[in-house]
Amino acid sequence: MIASHLLAYFFTELNHDQAQKVDKYLYHMRLSDETLLEVSQRFEKEMEKGLGADTNPTASVKMLPTFVRSTPDGTEDGDFLALDLGGTNFRVLRVKVSDNGLRKVEMENQIYAIPEELMRGSGVQLFDHIAECLANFLDKLQIKDKKLPLGFTFSFPCHQTKLDESILVTWTKGFKCSSVEGRDVVSLLRKSIKKRGDFDIDIVAVVNDTVGTMMTCGYDDQNCEVGLIVGTGTNACYMEEMRHIDLVEGDEGRMCINMEWGAFGDDGVLNDIRTEFDREIDMGSLNPGKQLFEKMISGMYMGELVRLILVKMAKDGLLFGGRLTPDLLTTGHFETRFVSAIEKEKEGLQKAHEILSKLGLEPSHEDCVATLRICQIVSTRSAALCGATLAAVLRRIRDNKGGDRLRSTVGVDGSVYKKHPHFARRLHKTVRKLLPDCEIRFIRSEDGSGKGAAMVTAVAYRLAAQHQARQKILEPLKLSHEQLLEVKERMRIEMEKGLGKETHEEATVKMLPTYVCSTPDGTEKGDFLALDLGGTNFRVLLVRVRNGMRRGVEMHNKIYSIPVEIMQGTGEELFDHIVHCISDFLEYMGMKGVSLPLGFTFSFPCQQNNLDEGILLKWTKGFKATGCEGEDVVGLLKEAIHRREEFDLDVVAVVNDTVGTMMTCGYEDPYCEVGLIVGTGSNACYMEEMRNVELVEGDEGRMCVNMEWGAFGDSGCLDDIRTEFDVAVDELSLNPGKQRYEKMISGMYLGEIVRNILMDFTKKGLLFRGRISERLKTRGIFETKFLSQIESDCLALLQVRSILQHLGLESTCDDSIIVKEVCTVVARRAAQLCGAGMAAVVDKIRENRGLDFLKVTVGVDGTLYKLHPHFSTVLQETVKELSPKCEVTFLQSEDGSGKGAALITAVACRIREAGQR
């Protein structure tokens, strides 16, 4: 009993000694965690080089764009063909993908040989042979009459320029067909098929087997964004952000990058960790100096590395008693599958004995133990190096997404990964060690090069079909030049109706006279008060206007709130409150007892019968004070001032904020004769010839007309360009059927239009994987400020996703692109419609004056115009296109409702004084 224990102990010790001897001999091959981290960081730099336009030509890791822009989402559906050419045999497959909640894939395939003479013949012969085999396969399945989409896995070095175009760089693997290198393999195959004329297929995609691996796994796990192959060779691919890919136009979305990582180290960056054995393997290979990383890792070289180590150790008298055999000295005689067999638990040492004996050696127990240890060291290094580069890829994906953690899946294929007893476990362990805070799942791919090619095709088909469906829905929102000209003409007709005495009653665009008959000329001076009432807050301002050398405007203001009980009480209470606030402001400014001219910006629908008389037509914005509608608001204000008996004010003008905007800009720019507001609502005003303003007596001079253009279209004249989304937004608004033009262009409604389109897309399965969240059903969640944020150019899709997340919408990268596109289409249409209206205005001014050419400035205010990144540009382009005979400058106004009211008062006082003189 004791003897057997001793014997076991002796063997364990002996094994331990042998292993230590090998460890010492191969210490260069055993990589520390620090070294692995260093390799990982070097690889990250190499990736950067491959992606950069300037650095790519000299980069060893080529980072090739594959034009595969999306992974499966599980809704793929249909019948596809795949062609897999990568060696002496090739396969044709039919893959049926069905999405009936059960997501299943059925496959049938047939293998065809490629005769030796064809591999070395002409390209035409090769592709004719492939076409013939395809025909045979389709015949067999009786589907020759169908035009099926096909994915083509072509596992040779290619330069891809489109999803369905791939230029062969060089033949490898024993192929030498003439006149194929430097040409597109898809068009060669299409030619051969066309020449036959007995069937037709749609070649959708050329795929590399690594990409196929990622796509196959991506169908089962939507988190899969990396593909890895460790077999005879090794390679990886992953989903990169388009903004980092210099070699392809465009910054939107993602694209799969085929890294060709086997060439890592070809520029010398791994020289410090390559050993004499790595150098010897490279010298004896078919491509010295190339694919150096692959030669340290992949199945083609692993067995050979072990053989070289065995030979060297035997020569040094450390193994086999110093004996060598011809078999051991022959390249390729120690196969990689031997490494897997020897490393199996339990029978490993026995396998080592068998294998070494077959090589003509007479191995001792120690020799077998040493051989096992050598295999372990070589395969462990391989897995660790592979893990280090994979960790770099995953780190990059994490950083692209801007998070600290990452949940991702890697799809893996290849004989070494699948058949070696410990490789997978060691690889996972390295990745976890280098990325402790990431959850990485590994799944084994089944048939990446066949099923994978079909998947790429299925995804391309789904994306194309969804894109088409979305474009069809968005089509009515995209207005042609002719449609915009038509809108301009109709606006012109409505303007004429509003100005005419006979037609004014039924006109929708009311064209109200404002009694403002002049813009500033720069000689205005004095102190003026302004009141600005247009919502729950109101402002009192003191505006000092200077002329001469110190020409300019200086302002002081204070904001007061209006309590709800006063908004909805009696008119007397409301105006008493306003006067109380004016009194407080005058005291605050130390100007009690001074009588100043006052301009009153009153942003509610009024009918003006004079500059200082405005009849309130109806309250809006939550105001309900009694005894005001139908009354002159200036009269109500004057009565309240008299009731207080504290001070006297000269109320000179009642002003609408659009007119105020024109006047503010008019003070800066004498050409300014138009005012435009595009914010929550929209309106415009301009200087019209008195002879055309039929509602006011007199034909001399000009008067500013407040168009109230938001109501354009209420007569039905825009029905042909209103979409189902506009109708939906209008029906659910507070004033259905009213302000239809405003509802297509102003900030209050654009977000709602976008939300309605997104709802429609989602219901049709074209967005958010068809899942409608409760949030998306909520009216008003999509604020217009989000449109401005989403469309700002510097915003990555990442931020678009976080805005959507904030709205409770889980989105993929593709979803974000779609949302951005919808925002763009809706905002662009708004700016174009606004531009068409503005074109009608400036052309009317030009024709009024009988000019061939008009130079005019538009004063603009409003959040949409000021904050949206593209609205102003599109608006200006549209006006230029529709009114080529006008040179229109747009000037942003600062505080039209405050400063503007004071300037109108100043101009009125200037004219009054001139009249007195």
* Alpha carbons 863 and 885: distance in angstroms, whole number: 29
Tell the residue number behind the tokens 């070395």, with chain if given.
120
Bridge partner residues of 178 (DSSP): 122
Bridge partner residues of 886 (DSSP): 854
The question of whether 539 is a catalytic residue gets the answer yes
| Torsion angle of C-alpha atoms 277, 279, 285, 287, degrees rounded to 10 | 150
- Residue 812, amino acid: T
Q: Per DSSP, which regions of 460-522 are E strands? A: 512-513
CA nearest to 827, candidates 859, 888, 786 = 786
Tell the residue number behind the tokens 């009269």, with chain if given.
635
DSSP per residue, 99-145: -SSS-EEEEEEEEEE--HHHHTSBHHHHHHHHHHHHHHHHHHHT-TT
Q: How many residues does the structure list for the chain?
A: 917
The secondary structure of the chain in percent helix, strand, coil, rounded to multiples of 5, reads: 45, 20, 35
Strands 672-678 and 224-230: unpaired
Q: Please, what is the Cα angle at 142 between 138 and 146, to 5 degrees?
A: 70
Q: Is 695 helix (H, G, I), strand (E, B) or coil?
A: coil
* Alpha carbons 870 and 327: distance in angstroms, whole number: 74
Name the burial class of residue 799, with classes exposed (0-12), middle (13-18) and buried (19+) by CB atoms within 10 angstroms of its CB. Answer: middle
The CA–CA distances, whole Å, from 569 to 572, 578, 628, 683 equal 9, 13, 11, 29
Tokens found for residue 831: 């700016």
Which is the catalytic residue, given 278, 447, 532, 657? Answer: 657
- Residue 442, amino acid: F
At residue 547, what are phi and psi to the nearest 5 degrees?
-120, -170
- Residue 842, amino acid: V
Cβ-contact 545, 903 below 8 angstroms: yes
Tokens found for residue 580: 């109380």
Strands 406-413 and 438-444: parallel
Calculate the CA 533 to chain-centre distance.
42
CA nearest to 912, candidates 597, 606, 677 = 597
Give 143's contacts (C-beta < 8 A, 6+ positions apart). 94
Which is the catalytic residue, given 379, 603, 811, 816? Answer: 603
- Residue 854, amino acid: L
Cβ-contact 899, 866 below 8 angstroms: no
DSSP per residue, 490-520: HHHHHHHHHHSTTTTTT-SS--EE-------
* Alpha carbons 428 and 215: distance in angstroms, whole number: 21
Which is the catalytic residue, given 539, 722, 828, 846? Answer: 539
DSSP per residue, 18-71: HHHHHHHHTGGGS--HHHHHHHHHHHHHHHHHHHSTTTGGG-SS--EE------
Q: At what angle do helices 481-499 and 813-848 cross, to 10 degrees?
A: 50
- Write out the H or E segment, with its range, that includes residue 777: none
The question of whether 278 is a catalytic residue gets the answer no
Classify the C-alpha dihedral 792-795-801-807 as positive or negative: negative
Tokens found for residue 582: 């004016």
Tokens found for residue 520: 């500033």
* Alpha carbons 523 and 525: distance in angstroms, whole number: 6
The question of whether 657 is a catalytic residue gets the answer yes
Question: Which residues are annotated as catalytic?
Answer: 539, 603, 657
